[in-house]
Amino acid sequence: MNETIAGGHLRMGLIATDPLRILGLQTIFSDHRAEVIPLSVPGALDASGVSLILIDAACTDHLFELMATFRRTRPHLRLIVIGEVEDHDYIQRVIGAGAKGYLTHAAKESEIKLAIEIVQDDSVWAPRKVLARLLASSAEAESANASNPPKFTGRERQVLRLLVGGSPNREIGQALGIDAVTVKAHVGRIMRKVGVENRIALTVETLNRNLLDS
């Protein structure tokens, strides 16, 4: 089961050279439920026990090569890029290259924490327009099922409404009085009914097809 910021001690690796950025991120997660570990040398990763890597794009001129190396050698690690660029084409390229999230340097503390929690829930954090474009480019379909909207139970509808609103599993569970494992099971059944394979596609399909209004 994935560790979350709220559910256990999360260890995050940080690739950055700006001491203020390093200190700032360490301060944000100084509540002892999450820890930011600077990875100043490659070997530090082997003994770090991290499951998620934050990469400051400003510290390297070879971001995409670095991400490709992680994908090839440590595909289980989730990558979140922090950068200055807000252009949607660039962010789409970063996500398409394997990042699970993209944050700007100006992101607020609450946004950073929520992004990490969403990524830990096996979803992707990026501007909604970027997610919609990624889904469209991977065009899995204008499915044949589009004319037959899926039937949801009352509970599935509640879960889906909160998921589309951006809530991670923990918050959905708290709102509905169920545990995260049950939430995950509901999400899995909803995805099968809609015919998608991840939460991003589920959110976009729900909005595009107005599934909560049917």
pLDDT tens for each residue of 13-71: 999 999 998 899 989 888 767 888 888 755 566 656 788 999 999 999 999 999 988 88
* 6 vs 162, higher pLDDT: 162
What pTM did the predictor assign?
Answer: 0.68
d(CA 29, CA 69): 27
Which residues, 6+ apart, have CB-to-CB distance to 148 below 8 Å?
none
Query: What domains are defined for the chain?
Result: 10-135 (3.40.50.2300), 141-208 (1.10.10.10)
d(CA 133, CA 204): 10
Secondary structure (DSSP) of the chain: ----TTTS-EEEEEE---HHHHHHHHHHTTTSSEEEEE--SGGGGTTT--SEEEEEGGG-S-HHHHHHHHHHH-TTSEEEEEES---HHHHHHHHHTT-SEEEETT--HHHHHHHHHHHHTT--BS-HHHHHHHHHHTT--S-GGGGSPPP--HHHHHHHHHHHTT--HHHHHHHHT--HHHHHHHHHHHHHHHT-SSHHHHHHHHHHTTTTT-
d(CA 121, CA 72): 22
- Which stretch, 108-112, 129-133, 166-170, has highest mean pLDDT? 108-112
- Which stretch, 146-150, 186-190, 208-212, has highest mean pLDDT? 186-190
pLDDT by residue (tens digit) across 177-208? 999 899 999 999 999 998 887 887 788 788 77
Q: Are 101 and 107 in contact (CB under 8 A)?
A: no
- The pLDDT assigned to 173 comes to 94
- The pLDDT assigned to 153 comes to 94
- The pLDDT assigned to 156 comes to 95
pLDDT by residue (tens digit) across 75-111? 888 999 999 998 888 998 898 888 999 999 999 999 9
